[in-house]
A = this chain, B = another copy of it.
């Protein structure tokens, strides 16, 4: 078995099992304990976050947000991605555009050095004009990329969410809501959520949300989200 394939297998096993011991992994991938430990070290080098509890009852566990994926892209595809992200950025300071940038930076770094030079030289000839955002972005704050790991499980497992919110007038409050949808009206993002205490839907600007936390064990049902502001909206596909 190729060492690369074995490492992928280890990642899959850890994701499935949640937590596992080195000895178990060794049996599953058909390699020795020593080799699995070497592979774990290699995966950590590549950015996978693998926690280890020593001692009786311990084991390994993988942070699912550190899972990485490899893909082989043609130069044209890289170029197209660069254009998309740059054009988005021209619309303003968008949430997650810095994350997209870091992804692209990794992709670029993997290109042969002379191809990067070509690409850069080509990009020098490009000028991107602005997209017109639907809203005034003069008071737009930066959205924290760290919100993503909190919001994703909220949507996937339908968990209640608590967070601080600062409204347009600047008043602070602590909210407790059922997240139902995300509405992206570039460059602004809104959390569309049902507020049980107010028995109604509320929109929250993502950049005004602070200190979000999941409320464990508090599932709710999906509701039909009303959009009543007349804006044409594209379902994300």
Q: Which residues of A contact B (CB under 8 A)?
A: 8, 11-12, 15-16, 46-47, 64-81, 83-91, 94, 96-97, 99-100, 102-104, 106-107, 109-115, 118, 121-134, 145, 148-149, 152, 155-156, 179-186, 227, 231-237
Contacts and interface: CB of A to CB of B under 8 A. Distances in A.
Given A84-B94, A127-B236, 13 more contacts: A11-B112, A69-B73, A71-B106, A71-B110, A72-B106, A83-B184, A84-B100, A89-B234, A125-B182, A127-B183, A127-B227, A130-B233, A130-B234
B125 A181 contact: yes
Nearest to A146: B76
A12 B124 CA distance: 22
Given A65-B74, A99-B76, A118-B156, A86 B236 contact: yes
8 contacts: A12-B113, A47-B74, A68-B74, A68-B75, A71-B106, A71-B110, A127-B182, A128-B233
